[in-house]
């Protein structure tokens, strides 16, 4: 006999019911196993229909090296995500998964995506409206692949350029970092007027859940060593590292990721006072507190030395979703055992699961769990590439333009007769994009994703009569014998991410300095530095005619040429202090020993001049 309407009706499946009622209704139907499954986030490499169905897994992510296949298309991604979602929908309660990816400068882990400048460049642009539009575009490109959750923005306030994540920080200045939280409105949509502070908001199927990270103090570690210890008093913590989190919570951010680092010797992943007492209770944040990658393993040295105690400490402190990402059965068994033995109370588990369900309901995942192909053309679209090119133009900082007594070198006339383009970074899209591009540590060369190198941009910008000669590492004889009118030298550092980027020397890669020495002084030269932070440049500065900080501009190298040839003027300002010597570090604006090569906020400009073809 057919069931009656009343017998099949469940509050949690009714989209017309208040979200909190749906959360409570679903929670009371869940077993302990289902609750702990929701708290578990696993990597794509170990995810399957069966694993998700069997363990009621709540979330899957693609780590930096975890695509469905090499050069996967948007359709490939969607099919993969939907295949896993079917496993979630086949569970007893049909709770959909939320799928996350590191879209930290566009959805750049995905092949062919638009790669926007890294955050340090956006901090130089000082344009919250621009960054909001970048958030809109990034959300579309993430949704184009069927993914619903972006681990962005990083709102660290980097106080030391030796830190390998310096480029993920908008600025050393907390006020600029605060302003850049505008990207959350782009990613998630703007919460309706009158929304309660601390309640997450995600505005529809072209938006994603955002993630403010890494809470808190990750940019202040001693000597800039990734995941180490931040020594700071309460005033410093709340004046420097905390303000952007207040703004993110006000803007309805859905999730907050905890930092690997410690605060005054206490691991942030076990810091109950800051995770529960302050973030959840005082600030009334109602979204998900998520761990970083394998963070529970890393709570001890060596990792996993006392895994049970690490799980206990992290969950007790206030973690809601745990990025396991591989050994998820061991995590589930460990947490289950801790609850059954009453080391962790059900109230703590229920708090975690309520937050996870709340975000999933707010996102509309229960109504629309499956991705379709309607947005696939948003991936790497021309409109987004145009926006990225605009962001490049606004992010470049002009540090020098002409030697003393000389007229400015920039802009270079488009009709210059013979231009030398040289340096390690002139024709290398991977170097130009930096870390978190197609893979975790980034890539090298020009075939890893789609974009325009600075060399190709220069060639397309000049008059047809201009001869552009490219030689990565020219010797002095070559330079002298070729009658170049101008030289554009593009140098910098190799791609890196996280601890692989920690550096105590901050030098550009060879043969960068050699190329500068072989060219500058013989030919009028502009040096373009492609890097995730300020590098040692003072030894070469006297010989350089013009100097440009291009940061990590991403896939649209044309934005660099737009400024070199005067189609637009330079407007970027240094988002962080450019040191003279690494021995000065750490050195931030306002410090008593402040003696920079270029101070925070510095940036020359050029008049907007459209040069005629023959000038």
Tokens in use for 346? 């059900």
- Please give the Cα distance from 599 to 590 (Å, whole number): 10
- Please give the Cα distance from 596 to 367 (Å, whole number): 55
- Stated as kind and residue range, the H or E segment containing 542 is none
Q: Are 79 and 147 in contact (CB under 8 A)?
A: no
Closest by CA position to 140, among listed 211, 98, 188: 188
- For residues 178-202, one letter each, b for 16 or more C-beta atoms within 10 angstroms of the residue's C-beta and e for the rest, the string is bbbbbbbbbbbbebeeeeeebbbbb
In the beta sheet, which residues pair with residue 42? 60
Q: Are 183 and 247 in contact (CB under 8 A)?
A: no
Q: Where are the alpha helices (DSSP H) in 90-216?
A: 119-125, 128-143, 174-180, 183-188
- Please give the Cα distance from 290 to 293 (Å, whole number): 10
Distances, alpha carbon 122 to alpha carbons 26, 104, 450, 518, 551, in Å? 42, 12, 21, 32, 9
Q: Are 484 and 418 in contact (CB under 8 A)?
A: yes
- Phi, psi (rounded to 5 degrees) for 600: -50, 135
Closest by CA position to 99, among listed 134, 137, 47: 47
Using alpha carbons only, how large is the chain's radius of gyration in Å?
25
Q: 141, 168, 390, 498: which is the annotated catalytic residue?
A: 498
Tokens in use for 564? 């070199």
Tokens in use for 108? 């750049």
- Percentages (nearest 5) of helix, strand, coil residues in the chain: 40, 15, 50
Q: 141, 173, 226, 292: which is the annotated catalytic residue?
A: 292
292 in catalytic set: yes
In the beta sheet, which residues pair with residue 487? 420, 525
What is residue 304's DSSP assignment? T
- Please give the Cα distance from 85 to 87 (Å, whole number): 5
Closest by CA position to 223, among listed 586, 588, 596: 586
- Please give the Cα distance from 327 to 35 (Å, whole number): 18
Give the list of residues 6+ apart from residue 379 with CB closer than 8 angstroms, or none: 74, 107, 110, 112, 113, 114, 141, 144, 145
- The catalytic residues are 292, 498
């Amino acid at each position: 006999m057919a069931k009656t309407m009343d017998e099949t009706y469940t509050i949690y499946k009714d989209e017309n019911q208040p979200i909190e009622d749906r959360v409570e209704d679903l929670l009371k139907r869940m077993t302990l196993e289902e609750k702990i499954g929701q708290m578990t986030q696993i990597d794509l490499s170990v995810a399957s229909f069966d694993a998700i169905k069997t363990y009621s897994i709540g979330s899957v992510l693609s780590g930096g090296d975890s695509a469905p296949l090499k050069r996967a298309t948007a359709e490939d991604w969607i099919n993969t995500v939907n295949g896993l979602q079917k496993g979630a929908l086949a569970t007893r309660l049909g709770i959909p998964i939320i799928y996350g990816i590191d879209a930290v400068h566009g959805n750049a882990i995905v092949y062919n995506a638009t790669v926007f400048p890294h955050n340090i460049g956006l901090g130089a642009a000082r344009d919250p409206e621009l960054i909001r539009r970048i958030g809109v575009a990034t959300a579309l490109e993430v949704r184009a692949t069927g993914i619903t959750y972006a681990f962005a923005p990083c709102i660290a306030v980097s106080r030391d350029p030796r830190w390998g994540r310096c480029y993920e920080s908008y600025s050393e200045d907390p006020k600029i970092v605060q302003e850049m939280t505008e990207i959350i409105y782009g990613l998630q949509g703007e919460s309706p007027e009158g929304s309660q502070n601390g309640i997450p908001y995600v505005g529809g199927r072209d938006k994603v859940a955002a993630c403010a990270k890494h809470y808190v103090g990750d940019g202040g570690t001693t000597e800039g060593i990734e995941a180490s210890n931040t020594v700071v008093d309460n005033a410093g913590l709340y004046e420097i590292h905390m303000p952007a989190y207040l703004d993110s919570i006000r803007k309805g951010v859905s999730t907050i990721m905890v930092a690997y680092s410690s605060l005054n010797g206490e691991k942030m992943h076990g810091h109950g006072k800051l995770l529960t007492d302050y973030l959840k209770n005082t600030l009334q944040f109602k979204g998900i507190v998520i761990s970083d990658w394998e963070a529970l393993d890393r709570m001890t040295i060596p990792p996993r030395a006392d895994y049970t105690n690490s799980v206990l400490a992290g969950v007790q402190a206030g973690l809601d979703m745990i990025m396991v990402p591989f050994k998820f059965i061991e995590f589930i068994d460990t947490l289950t055992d801790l609850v059954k033995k009453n080391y962790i109370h059900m109230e703590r588990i229920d708090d975690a699961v309520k937050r996870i369900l709340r975000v999933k309901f707010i996102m509309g995942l229960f109504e629309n769990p499956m991705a379709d192909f309607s947005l696939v053309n948003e991936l790497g679209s021309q409109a987004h590439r145009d926006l990225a090119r605009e962001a490049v133009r606004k992010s470049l900082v002009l540090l020098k333009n002409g030697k003393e007594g000389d007229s400015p070198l920039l802009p270079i006339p488009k009709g210059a007769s013979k231009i030398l383009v040289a340096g390690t970074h002139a024709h290398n899209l991977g170097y130009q994009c930096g870390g978190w591009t197609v893979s975790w540590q980034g890539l090298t060369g020009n075939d890893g994703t789609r974009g325009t190198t600075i060399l190709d941009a220069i060639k397309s910008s000049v008059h047809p009569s201009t001869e552009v000669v490219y030689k990565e590492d020219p010797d002095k004889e070559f330079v002298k014998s070729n009658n170049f009118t101008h030289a554009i030298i593009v140098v910098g550092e190799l791609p890196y991410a996280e601890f692989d980027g920690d550096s105590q020397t901050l030098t550009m890669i060879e043969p960068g300095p050699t190329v500068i020495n072989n060219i500058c002084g013989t030919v009028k030269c502009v040096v373009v530095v492609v890097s995730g932070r300020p590098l040692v440049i003072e030894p070469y500065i006297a010989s350089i005619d013009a100097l440009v900080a291009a940061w990590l501009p991403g896939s649209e190298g044309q934005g660099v040429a737009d400024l070199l040839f005067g189609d637009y003027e330079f407007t970027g300002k240094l988002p962080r202090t450019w040191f003279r010597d690494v021995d000065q570090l750490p050195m931030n604006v306002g410090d008593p020993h402040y003696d920079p090569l270029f101070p925070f906020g510095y940036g020359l400009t050029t008049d907007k001049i459209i040069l005629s073809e023959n000038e």
